[in-house]
Structure 1
Amino acid sequence: KTLSTLWRPPYVRATLMLWIVWFMVVFSYYGMFLWLPSVMVLKGFSLINSFGYVLIMTLAQLPGYFVAAWLIEKWGRKMVLSLFLLGTAASALGFGLATGLPMLLTAGMLLSFFNLGAWGALYAYSPEQYPTVVRSSGSGMAAGIGRIGGVVGPLLVGHLLGSHWSVGGIFSIFTAAILIAVLAIVFLGQETMGVKLADTLE
């Protein structure tokens, strides 16, 4: 019953948007970050150094999360989520094409910053799409769709690396996935900052 409610007006638009965004964001996050040490090895670094560099990159995740959490109350959820995802897409493309260590570390830290910031905004934005009676179910199902993406992403990277895809080509896929999420937000999402949320179904 809850699932059918989410897929009928006026909630179908929000549900479609959230399912797309959650899938693409989690697909990209796990696809990129679980393979980062291996990607750094492919870029020519030793495995030990690669883990150290990845640790440096991931240190930028927390600042990204807190900056996004602050900005969503200033600029709104939809805009901040879209901007941070655009930053994620640009950083992913830059990381895939980067060669030297300074470029890789910079792109990797920006990727961590924007990606985790987008997650923070998405966690705030998702439950606000639904009235109280289906809020937890609606946002929970969207996150569940995201978990499917979290399985598909790493498996896809493993397959592509085994097929001798370039790092740039693989990260281009994640760039495209994030851009699809941005389009879903822009065309299907509605701003919820300052909007009184309903308690009952319409």
Structure 2
Amino acid sequence: RIVRSFEAAAGPAQRGDGAHLDDAADTHAGAQGTTVDVETTRTSQLASPFSAPYRTRTAALWATWFGVNFAYYGAFLWIPTFLVATGFPVAKSFGFTLVITIAQLPGYAVAAVCVEKIGRRPTLALFLAGSTVSALLFGQATSETTIMAAGCALSFFNLGAWGALYAITPEIYPTLMRAGGAGGATAFGRIASIVAPLVVPWVFTHHGEGWTFGVIAAAFAVATLAALALPERRGQALD
């Protein structure tokens, strides 16, 4: 509606396309062939992210953001330190970390395709499940080959999950609630990004690498289950 008001103010001549606003102004729908699911403005004006219509999705979104932040910052800030502690030279540990980090790029790319092909929620849940398994494997890896393979898989799936999470988050609330709803979830996730770098080294010191990545895998698993409770809005018009 806001864009249409801009177009109306400019007029067809300034827009330069010679088209009439009436061709599209009366249509409030998504792309051709999609299902329209518009949440009313009146409802969104009165509601908060924790009101009855949105309570479940808000709790699921907050849990997902918390789990993803905890696992990501708990793992990737400390991977070089973990590798050095298990006997690898500093230079080699940073070399491993560089290769593992590069694996994030194809993770983002694959997730970007999947969110449109199979949907936001399935993509997010799939990549989080892959992150769970990868974290468990990394915690048990001992050789250079298994460390590199499990680390790259963890990086691939974890960053793909981030991409899907950023795609689904703003779509699950109506326009008047979108900034507050998405901002609240990301802010709650930042708590985990503060807590994880403090908790993870304590677990590593007292219980070893297996337990450490078991905790990280548990965070991913919680996020996976929470993601399944999020609404799927692919192909639907947003109000």
TM-score when normalising by structure 1:
0.93
Aligned-residue CA RMSD (Å): 1.2
Equivalent in the alignment of 1:37: 80
Matched, 1:119 2:162: yes
Asked if the contact 2:204–2:211 (Cα under 8 Å) also holds between the matched residues in 1, the reply is no
User: Map of 1:174-193 to 2, 5 A cutoff?
Assistant: 174-186=216-228, 188-193=229-234
User: Map of 1:82-161 to 2, 5 A cutoff?
Assistant: 82-161=125-204
Q: Identity rate of aligned residues, in percent?
A: 47
Matched position secondary structure for 1:126: helix
User: Larger C-alpha radius of gyration, 1 or 2?
Assistant: 2
Equivalent in the alignment of 2:213: 171
Distance in 1 (alpha carbons) for counterparts of 2:52 and 2:61: 15
Asked if the contact 2:203–2:211 (Cα under 8 Å) also holds between the matched residues in 1, the reply is no
User: Map of 1:68-79 to 2, 5 A cutoff?
Assistant: 68-79=111-122
Matched position secondary structure for 1:166: helix
Q: What is the one-letter code of the residue matched to 1:84? A: F
User: Map of 1:17-32 to 2, 5 A cutoff?
Assistant: 17-32=60-75
Once the two structures are superposed, residues 69-113 of structure 1 have per-residue CA deviations (whole angstroms, 9 ceiling, x without a partner) of 111000000000000000100100000000100000000001010
Matched position secondary structure for 1:45: coil
1:161 deviates by 2.8
Q: What is the one-letter code of the residue matched to 2:93? A: S
Matched position secondary structure for 2:232: coil
Matched, 1:54 2:97: yes
1:158 deviates by 2.0
Q: Which runs of 5+ in 1 are unaligned?
A: none
Asked if the contact 2:70–2:192 (Cα under 8 Å) also holds between the matched residues in 1, the reply is yes
1:116 deviates by 0.3
Distance in 1 (alpha carbons) for counterparts of 2:212 and 2:91: 23
Distance in 2 (alpha carbons) for counterparts of 1:189 and 1:175: 20
Q: What is the one-letter code of the residue matched to 1:182? A: T
Counting matched residue pairs gives 194
Matched position secondary structure for 1:72: helix
Once the two structures are superposed, residues 95-149 of structure 1 have per-residue CA deviations (whole angstroms, 9 ceiling, x without a partner) of 0000100000000001010000000000000011100011111111101111110
Distance in 1 (alpha carbons) for counterparts of 2:207 and 2:84: 14
Distance in 1 (alpha carbons) for counterparts of 2:215 and 2:201: 13
Distance in 2 (alpha carbons) for counterparts of 1:36 and 1:142: 26
